[in-house]
Amino acid sequence: MTHHDDRALADALRDASDAGRACALATVVATRGSTPRKVGARLVVDPERGLTGTVGGGCGEAEVIEAAQRVLETGRAERVTVDLTEDFLSWSPAVCGGTMDVFVEAVLPGPASPE
């Protein structure tokens, strides 16, 4: 992850908070085998603004986005195991074949800052 990626994630979280929106933060916390991203990769899911960052793309990222939607509805964090071995049947040439654990948590807006 580059400094630019970190800045984009921080900007997305700040923008959501400033607008009073909750969003979800997904972080890769463990990997086994070959995975598209490594531990520490992050994704912000903002229901109104979309996605910032990535935890790998494809079907695996779709699972994480679904978990993020549940987390925002329930307020309960989730740890999701993404199994990329099934992607061997995928059309994508970027097949990995490993698994990764992704922690998904809600990030609630903070108190309004004085302007």
Q: pLDDT tens across 25-68, in order?
A: 999 999 999 888 999 999 999 999 999 999 988 888 999 999 99
Residues 6+ apart with CB under 8 A from 78: 67, 70, 71, 103, 104
Q: Tell me: the pLDDT tens digits for 57-104?
A: 888 899 999 999 999 999 999 999 998 876 555 555 555 678 999 999
pTM given for the model: 0.85
Length, in residues, of the chain: 115
DSSP string, 1-35: --HHHHHHHHHHHHHHHHTT--EEEEEEEEEESS-
d(CA 76, CA 21): 17
| pLDDT of amino acid 84 | 83
pLDDT band with cut points at 50, 70 and 90 for residue 4: low
